[in-house]
Amino acid sequence: MKKNKKPDSIKGIDLRKFMPRTAGNEAPPGTIEYIGNRRQTPSSIEVISYGQQRIERKKADTVDDLRRVLSGDSFQWIRITGLQDVAMLKQLGELFQIDALDMEVIANTTERPDIEEHERYIFVMLKSMQLEPETQEIIIEQLSVVVGAGYLISFHETSPALFDPLYRRIVASGGKIDKFTPDYLLFAICDAVIDNYFSMLENVGETVETIEDELISSPSPSCQQLIYKLKRRLFYIKKIVWPAREVIGTIQSSLNPLITENSRSYFRNIHDHTVQIIETIESLMDLTSNLMDLYLSSVSNRLNEIMKVLTIFSALFIPITFIAGVYGMNFKYLPELEWKYSYFGFWGIVICIAIAMLLFFKRKKWM
């Protein structure tokens, strides 16, 4: 397994993504108000139309332009990037007859993953996670999907680069393009999100190994901070994955006609993946707890080694200090003071005592 170069490169997670917020007490239910990080890029609409004969990718500047694009009979994947344009969201809700409460959830990026089934459509909301390669920061964004007969609308906070490989699969499918029905496309989107969870856990696992090696060789206070950051990162990943498992499980067991029996087997597969992810998270949380115990044990052992060395030096100087104290007294009649070789005799005694004590310590296996 490839290890991280710098375990101290772990960044914190934007906690605002986990603090639920509302439009305010005075706002009635169903009020569409953007709640999240304000972004400079404007909202945009992209339509991917495909059928037996062709695949088209178009931009729509306004909802009115979108109406004209939707006039065809091909399947439409509508990607909305940027949720800060509340007026556009209201128009989209009216165009596709999306419930106001669902549109409120779409505009509120602090909501937990959820699913709502309606007669005309299914509304699914998940959290996507991507690892920034340079800063090692986890970017968490909300992904909302509305699936209807002949269309799928996905709402993204920023440019959905995560799903570009999915578009390339659609293009490369050729004669099998009919496979990309609304429910299968919903599966493919959910699968891309869930697969990225595995990438997050792989990164955490690599960091755990790196910290473990460092703790064994040379534990430092920075390791304690890294372990704490890892535990917090795992906690928030679990906070995202746990409700996502419920969402996938609901889709898997849904009797809604928009979800075909063939697609349910696919959703069963990614439901198993979410269970596996949660088990891995719990295992990694146990490992990080063990890392903290290992850190405290390593620091304690290192302190004991230091104290042992200091104690040995102190013990060596106790008899030497006693002898020096005796001959440092201001008594007039000390026989050895008049001896010609008393100075060399003193050092001879000191060296013999030091050697004798070191041999004694070694015999007792204290050093």
pLDDT tens by residue, 191-220: 999 998 888 888 888 888 888 888 777 777
Percent of the chain with pLDDT over 70: 89
If residue 75 lies in a helix (H) or strand (E), which one and from where to where? strand 75-81
Burial class (CB in 10 A: 0-12, 13-18, 19+), 50: buried
For tokens 């595995």, the residue is 198
Question: Which of 150-154, 294-298, 320-324 has maximum average pLDDT?
Answer: 150-154
69: number of Cβ within 10 Å: 16
Residue partners of 250: CB distance under 8 A and separation at least 6:
115, 117
User: What pLDDT shows up at residue 5?
Assistant: 46
Residue partners of 347: CB distance under 8 A and separation at least 6:
none
For the segment 80-109, what is each residue's pLDDT rounded down to a tens digit?
Answer: 998 988 999 999 999 999 999 999 999 998
Distance CA 203, CA 243 (A): 22
pTM of the model: 0.76
The answer on pLDDT for 1 being more than 50 is no
Asked if 108 contacts 36 with a C-beta cutoff of 8 angstroms, the reply is yes
Give the three-state DSSP class for 343.
Answer: helix
For the segment 220-268, what is each residue's pLDDT rounded down to a tens digit?
Answer: 777 788 888 888 888 888 888 999 999 999 999 988 999 988 888 899 9
Higher pLDDT, 153 or 37: 153
The answer on pLDDT for 67 being more than 80 is yes
Burial class (CB in 10 A: 0-12, 13-18, 19+), 59: exposed
Distance CA 261, CA 178 (A): 16
If residue 44 lies in a helix (H) or strand (E), which one and from where to where? strand 44-50
Return the sign of the alpha-carbon dihedral for residues 69, 70, 75, 77.
positive
Length of the chain measured in residues: 367
Supply the mean pLDDT for the chain: 83
Query: In this structure, what DSSP letter does residue 18 have?
Result: G
For the segment 25-42, what is each residue's pLDDT rounded down to a tens digit?
Answer: 566 777 888 888 777 778
Query: Measured between alpha carbons, how far is residue 19 from residues 14, 16, 28, 155, 242 in Å?
Result: 10, 5, 21, 20, 16
Percent of the chain with pLDDT over 90: 26
The answer on pLDDT for 14 being more than 60 is no
- Please, what's the b/e burial string for 202-213 (b: 16 or more CB within 10 A of its CB; e: otherwise)? ebbbebbbbbbe
Q: What is the set of domains in the chain, with CATH numbers?
A: 298-363 (1.20.58.340)
β pairing state of 151-156 and 75-81? parallel
| Greatest Cα pair distance in the chain | 120
